[in-house]
Amino acid sequence: MINLTINGESITAPEGATILEVARMAGIEIPTLCHHPDLSNVGACRMCVVSVQGARALQTACTTPAADGMVVDTMSEDAVETRKFVLEMLLTDHPNECMTCEVNGDCELQDLVYDYGVKWPEHNGQRHQWEINPDPNPFIFIDRNKCILCSRCIRACNEIQNRDVWNFAYRGFQTKLVAGADQFMLDAGCESCGQCVAYCPVGALYDKMSIGLGRVNQITKVRTTCSYCGVGCNFDLNVRDGRIIRVTSAADAPVNGMALCVKGRYGYDYVHHPDRLTRPLVRAKWLGREAVEERIAAGEWAIFDEAKQRLTHRRPPNDAQTPIPNTQYPNTQYPNTQDLNTQLPPDTFIATDWDTALDVVANKFAETKKKFGGDAFALLASAKCTNEENFIFNKFTRQMLATHSIDHCARL
Amino acid sequence: MTNSIRDIAEEARCIFIIGSNTTEQHPVIGAKIRRAKRHRGAKLIVADPRRIDIADYADLHLQHKPGTDIALLNGLMHVILREGWQDDEFIRERTEGFEELKPVVAKYTPEVVSEITGVPAEDIELAARMMAENRPGALLYAMGITQHTVGVPNVMSCANLQMLLGNMGVPGGGVNPLRGQNNVQGACDMGGLPNVYPGYQKVTDRAAREKFEQAWGVSLSDQVGLTVTEMLDAAERGDVRCLYIIGENPMTSDPDLNHVRYSLQNTEFIVLQELFFSETAQFADVIFPAASFAEKDGTVTNTERRIQRVRKAVDPPGEAMPDHWIIVQLAKRMLALGATTPDPDAPFADWEYQSWRDILEEINALTPIYAGVTAQRLDAGEALHWPVFGPDHPGAPILHVGKFTRGKGRFVASDHTSPAELPDEDYPLMLTTGRVLYHWHGGEMTHRAQGLEAMYPEALVEIHPKDARKAGVADGDLIKVASRRGEIVAKAQVTDRVEPGLIFGTFHFAESAANFLTNPALDPQAKIPEYKVCAVRVEKAGSSLDERAISE
Ligand code: SF4
Ligand code: SF4
Ligand code: FES
């Protein structure tokens, strides 16, 4: 253990920690941009500079180890002026677009510029004019004009995902964040996990599927567990007006931290797909022709167009360049295409109501159980349902239907 | 898994992956393993018939033939014993059956094993040394181990190796099956199995039966029920009349789909709860529209036995309802019809659940390993890995610490047995199956996620350049793949990811699902079909230009 003083407060800290870590443990805030607690420190942005007594120059708190007897001032005039200068320099080559930026309100640069009262510099000098959204990756949006060259994306890809896709190329004002040898991301080995987006402090990298759909003050976040594989990643569903518009990493997710894979981060849009089933369906033969005709005539039931469902299942792949359109939600209109008077095959699916459909099943089950006993039933539980659902399904099998013939597709 | 993802990622000095395409199937675990290898210097050994992505990061890739896992594992143990690298203290104090293991393993010299597996003898020596010199080591496996007629002996051989090395019950060690679907673990834990009640309490065990009889107020059978494959056979015979399926799609995920189709057609009454009109839906009589994970509350259990929350974020579309609501409605109607008359005094006879929390309370009361998994503890953010035996029990991120759950760990030696169907003159190639990064199982969800579908829009079959040349097939050509059970047409991807003689297909695309080809031969104990090996032949079905015509 070592003892040091930060802003006049004496602090005991473990050996080997940086000034930044010690300060944060003690609840003292030091601003940062290139630092992220999950990633290695590079000391690139100089936002975190602090004065250390006896040192000749300001020290970057994120890379300087705390030492016994150190006296640190995080808000010295020098440090504050330097931070303002750093921010001003960043703004000289940054678009003044917060009004329309996706990350407005959720941007580390914007917050610091606000905190330090830096004005957007009007000047006629050079600002970059990189092409916006130049990469065909269907998930990751790039706007290099907003890039502050902090290298967090580079380190996230190297240290978390271990794909080494990103790096800096060229020098000086020409310095550019590139994938591979200035290639498209997918050609440089990207697997579209989106870790780089999650770690970007500004709006330079963003999720393509979410462009224009809502910013942080317009959404609510709901923490949940992924519906795909068994790793059990947690993340936040970003919801606006009853629609999931984005998935964002949750730093405190116990299993995965900020990391997600392409399915977890970008595979959520099936939830709002127009193919979703929205009404109970029963084959006409279990309802009786008369009832079907009557209730359809009354506008209560409808014929379900099975053929159409099967066709919409597979769509031609999207042109990856165009942003993915929103699917209209939800499609509750069932087409009533067949002429009832000419034919109603007994196998036609009828979109009915819950009471009818549940009664059909309950009656059939009760009758079968009475005649043939529990051996006439077999049930398949779901590896996609919750524990509670599986539990009562198991209870239904054993208590209601008097059989143990329940299984699921775990073996498959 | 016997261990947690975190301790493996942070503490294992050697990671041995066998039969798991980790970076594509469990990508976040895969990324953590890549990180352990590259940034922490852990050793990584990958045994897989294909040059999968994670193999490119490995210190050593053992490219063994499909269906030769036991021989490979025995070979590793042979070298360890020959060199005296086994953990004698662990074996003496914590295990039994070691003496019976020795003579079996003795037969599997690296040379013999090399003959069976195709792995060079020196690589087997090297792998054994790496494992011995870098302890603790974790073993990870997935369906590449279980989907064989020798699935159970495969798993036991994995356990043998880890016990021999003393890699059990320690952080960074363990035998770690990676579970496929997000709540496979929970579905098993909650009694979605024909032989056990929730919490693996056997239906044949009298005490367990009486406990549930008292709880639910009915008398229960002591006969084990049917497994999924047996169900389909019984349905075909007409013995099973009603099939009730929640959120599963046997019409893409089961082996030998032509047989599945016939069974489903023969079933009098099929009830299905689904999000979409799946391939199985075509055979249903009643379909209930269900809610997706984003539309309901509850808990799920991950591959490391950790229970976590799912939370409702949006309303289900139209009239769709959560599965639990649907089941409760049916149960109440059945009660009203007098289909069952449980003793009203039994504590859990009724179906009056107000929310998922009420169901969880019943789980707590009847499932010892979930006894302490309460809504309060989950909401407080506690990390709960079952078994959690009570409200004050902390759970167990690592199993078998100090002592095996069953007392002593048992070595059960197995001999190599060939897969049920091997290539022959008529069907000269071997087919193995799996999944890819961008799709999920039958694809019900991922084909409707537009970005994922754009990344991987069609079925591909991997074939080695040598075999492709023999069949006159070029990259991108359509090929017909036929087995004794059926045939599919898919696009050929000519690649050396597979060895000559081996081709690889997926079941993500209904119209060309590899499961029209796979062999339904089962492991006699686990009843898992042999997806990983069957014999096929290929022929060209058209050049890439004709593709449009076929897919229309
Ligand atoms: S999406 Fe993942 S793999 Fe692709 S560049 Fe970003 S971090 Fe790397
Ligand atoms: S894209 Fe974002 S994370 Fe990457 S260097 Fe630029 S600002 Fe930093
Ligand atoms: S945060 Fe310390 S230099 Fe960037």
Q: Please say which residue of A89, A119, A144 terminates a domain.
A: A89
Amino acid residing at B56: D
Q: Write down all domains in chain B, each with its CATH number in brackets.
A: 5-178 (3.40.228.10), 184-385 (3.40.50.740), 429-548 (2.40.40.20)
Is A411 or B200 the better-scoring residue by pLDDT?
Answer: B200
Of A236, A277, A300, A365, which to mutate for an interface test with B (greatest number of B Cβ within 10 Å)? Answer: A277
The sheet that has A377-380: what strands, in order across it?
A302-303, A349-351, A281-283, B286-289, B269-274, B242-246, A377-380, A406-407
CATH number, domain with residue A173: 3.30.70.20
Is A312 found in the same domain as A221? no
Amino acid residing at B215: A
Is A97 found in the same domain as A200? yes
Contact A138, A211 (CB under 8 A): no
Ligand 2 close to Cβ of residue A140 (< 6 A):
no
Is A150 found in the same domain as A81? no
Is A135 found in the same domain as A26? no
CATH number, domain with residue A231: 2.20.25.90
Ligand 3 close to Cβ of residue A60 (< 6 A):
yes
- Interval A268-291: pLDDT, tens: 999 999 999 999 999 999 998 899
Is A211 in the B-facing interface, judged by CB distances under 8 Å?
no
Cα(A152) to ligand 2 centroid in Å equals 6
pLDDT at B41 over 70: yes
> How distant is the Cα of B422 from the closest Cα of chain A, in angstroms?
21
Among A28-42, A81-95, A179-193, B430-444, the range scoring the smallest mean pLDDT is B430-444
Is B15 or B279 the better-scoring residue by pLDDT?
Answer: B15
- Interval B446-490: pLDDT, tens: 888 888 888 888 888 999 999 999 999 999 999 999 999 888 888
Is A363 found in the same domain as A402? yes
Alpha carbons A270 and A327: distance in angstroms, whole number: 9
List the structure tokens of A339.
Answer: 């002429």
Q: What percent of chain A has pLDDT over 90?
A: 84
Q: How many CB atoms lie within 10 A of CB A374?
A: 19
Ligand 2 close to Cβ of residue A204 (< 6 A):
yes
Contact flag A391-B190 (C-beta cutoff 8 Å): yes
Domain that residue A236 falls in: 216-272
pLDDT at A341 over 50: no
Is A192 found in the same domain as A223? no
pLDDT value, residue A314 = 44
Contact B311, B355 (CB under 8 A): no
Is A131 found in the same domain as A109? yes
Q: Please say which residue of A69, A89, A109 terminates a domain.
A: A89
Q: Please say which residue of A60, A89, A118 terminates a domain.
A: A89
Is A337 found in the same domain as A325? yes
CATH number, domain with residue A28: 3.10.20.740
Residue B239 DSSP label? S
Element (H, E) at B116: helix B110-117
Q: How many CB atoms lie within 10 A of CB B392?
A: 7
Which residue among A160, A272, A386 places its CB closest to the CB of B35? A160
Is A168 found in the same domain as A129? yes
Alpha carbons A330 and A319: distance in angstroms, whole number: 24
Q: Which residues of chain A neighbour B457 with C-beta distances below 8 Å? A: 316-317
- Interval B508-538: pLDDT, tens: 776 667 778 888 888 888 778 888 889 999 9
The domain tally of chain A equals 5
Alpha carbons B109 and B86: distance in angstroms, whole number: 16
Arithmetic mean of pLDDT, B74-97? 96
Q: Residue B39: which pLDDT band, with cuts at 50, 70 and 90? A: very high
Is A195 found in the same domain as A159? yes
Arithmetic mean of pLDDT, A44-63? 96
